[in-house]
Chains A and B, each alone.
Chain A
Amino acid sequence: AQSVAQPEDQVNVAEGNPLTVKCTYSVSGNPYLFWYVQYPNRGLQFLLKYITGDNLVKGSYGFEAEFNKSQTSFHLKKPSALVSDSALYFCAVKGGSSYKLIFGSGTRLLVRP
């Protein structure tokens, strides 16, 4: 069965510093991986996805993610954090013939000024 894990409930980082939000996955077959962001009282917004190709994927708002097949990871990164990046981040996976996305438990990112 497909699953995704986000081991950190919260990540704290100072503005201007690099950030990493971790995600590991378990799927049968080739993984299709996604990152979404949720601001308070809002819906989920798509950030980026990995389907195939380069292991480093670039997305919205300066975020990128690195796909690592051997470590079954898809960590979200940004070289320089902004206070406005503070939000809840969800990793998601789709595998096989399923239509749905399976979301991780979410990681709250807090960027302090």
Chain B
Amino acid sequence: EPEVTQTPSHQVTQMGQEVILRCVPISNHLYFYWYRQILGQKVEFLVSFYNNEISEKSEIFDDQFSVERPDGSNFTLKIRSTKLEDSAMYFCASSEGQTNTGELFFGEGSRLTVL
């Protein structure tokens, strides 16, 4: 069964460092998303991406965050200058079409720890 894969599974970084989280969405999916979850709590939307551009972003997704699809298969989330409060589990997801007709498929997550 096709799945969304994420790397790394866990990354530890120093405050102020740049981090790149990588995702390989399901191959025929068109919509891509990043969510984050702090300490097993609420799952928060960060950004959605379609047709090589951001389609929607939340207030959390400020100038320190960026996304791109560099090679047609990977979908990356970059955090330019990490802060302590960026420590969370980051989930990538993809869907065939808009989420009103289909569910999102999530990866297993990348745990980011900022020291």
Contacts and interface: CB of A to CB of B under 8 A. Distances in A.
Contacts of A51: 100-101
B94 to A, nearest CB: 12
A34 B105 CA distance: 12
Centre residue among A42, A101, A104 by max chain B CB count within 10 A: A101
B108 A99 contact: no
Interface residues of A, number: 22
Interface in A92-112: 94, 98-106
Given A32-B99, A51-B101, A100-B33, A43 B107 contact: yes
Interface of A: 32, 34, 36, 42-46, 49, 51, 88, 90, 94, 98-106
8 contacts: A43-B4, A44-B91, A44-B106, A90-B43, A99-B48, A99-B50, A99-B56, A106-B41
Given A42-B109, A46-B104, A90-B43, 5 more contacts: A42-B108, A43-B107, A45-B106, A46-B105, A51-B100
Interface of B: 4, 31, 33, 35, 40-45, 48, 50, 55-56, 58, 91, 93, 98-101, 103-109
